[in-house]
Amino acid sequence: MMLLYAVRPAEAETPELVGLCGREIETVRGSEAALIAEECPRAPEPNRSMALRYYEIVDHLSRSAAVLPVRFPTVLSDRAEVGQELARRGSQWRRRLDELHGLAEMVVRATWPDQPTSARDAEQSVGSAYLRHRAAQVHAAEEVAGELEQRARRVCRDVRQLPAAEGVRLACLAPRTAEPELQQRLEEWRQEGAGRAVSLGGPWPPFSFVDQREAAAR
C-alpha cells in the first residue's frame, strides 16, 4: 500500500527522505501535480510519534516547494490508485498549490477572563441560568473571534476559525516573514483588555487551507 504525505507541483524535485515505514519516499507525478508517497507493507501505527514524524516530513517538503499536506494517515492500495487520484484532481490541486506558494499557516489562540476555565464550572449551574450563561459565552466568543479576525486580516491572506475547547482559535495564512507583524497586531488586542492572553503557533504547512470548500466546512 502507499502512504501519502503531500501534493506538490509536478516539476518540483523531491528531497531524499526516509518515511514512516523506513523506506525512501517517492514521487508519483501527474501532468500538473505530484503525490509524495511511501510504499509500506502495512499502514503505520497511528500514534503521536508517527503523526509528529509525518509532520516533520511534510514540513521538510514545504521548505523547497508549495505543498498540500494530505490528512494523516491516508493510504491508497498501490501506485496505480495514486495515479488515478492525480489524474482526477491534479488540475484542482495545482491551482491551489499556485495560490499557496510562499505561504504558511499560523494558529492564534486567544482567551479572556470572563469565561469558565473548565467544564466543571458549567456543570455547577442548572436550568435557564446555565443556558443564559452559555449563550453569553458563545456571544462573547463570536465577538472576540470577529475582532481578532478583522485584525489578523490586515496581515493574513486568509483566516479560518478553528474549533476551540476554550476561547478562540484562528488559522492564519500568511508569508512566514509576516509573523512579527501578526504578533504586533495580536499584542495590540491583548493590551486592550485586562487578563487577555494570546499565543501564536507555527509557521506550519497550510493544513487548514488546502481546499477552499473543505476547509470552510470544518
Partner 1 sequence: MSVTTTRPSSDVALIDLLDRVIGGGVVVSGDIVLGVADVDLVYLGLRLILAPAHEVEGTVNLTRGRTP
Residues that bind partner 1 (CB under 8 A): 4, 7, 43, 46-48, 51-52, 54-55, 68-76, 81, 85, 93, 105, 107, 109, 162-165, 169, 171, 179, 183, 186-187, 190, 197-201, 204, 207-208, 210-211, 214-215, 218
C-alpha distances out from residue 122 to 80, 125, 127, Å: 52, 6, 11
C-alpha distances out from residue 89 to 69, 162, 180, 205, 217, Å: 14, 26, 36, 20, 19
Q: Which is nearer to partner 1, 39 or 211 (CB)?
A: 211
Q: Which is nearer to partner 1, 26 or 128 (CB)?
A: 26
The single residue listed with the C-alpha cell 501506485 is 79
Give the bridge partners for 2, in sequence order: 39, 76
Cell of 26: 517517492
169 in helix, strand or coil? Answer: strand
Closest separation between CB of residue 143 and partner 1, Å? 20
Closest separation between CB of residue 72 and partner 1, Å? 5
Closest separation between CB of residue 1 and partner 1, Å? 8
Rounded to an integer, what distance in angstroms lies between the CA atom of residue 209 and that of residue 102? Answer: 13
Rounded to an integer, what distance in angstroms lies between the CA atom of residue 127 and that of residue 19? Answer: 53
Closest separation between CB of residue 194 and partner 1, Å? 12
Q: How many CA atoms lie within 13 A of 110 on its CB side?
A: 31
Rounded to an integer, what distance in angstroms lies between the CA atom of residue 136 and that of residue 113? Answer: 13
Q: Which is nearer to partner 1, 93 or 112 (CB)?
A: 93
Closest separation between CB of residue 189 and partner 1, Å? 9
Closest separation between CB of residue 155 and partner 1, Å? 13
109 in helix, strand or coil? Answer: strand
Closest separation between CB of residue 128 and partner 1, Å? 24
Rounded to an integer, what distance in angstroms lies between the CA atom of residue 136 and that of residue 63? Answer: 43
Q: Which is nearer to partner 1, 128 or 191 (CB)?
A: 191
Cell of 80: 496505480
Q: Which is nearer to partner 1, 91 or 128 (CB)?
A: 91
Q: Which is nearer to partner 1, 8 or 14 (CB)?
A: 8
Q: Which is nearer to partner 1, 177 or 199 (CB)?
A: 199
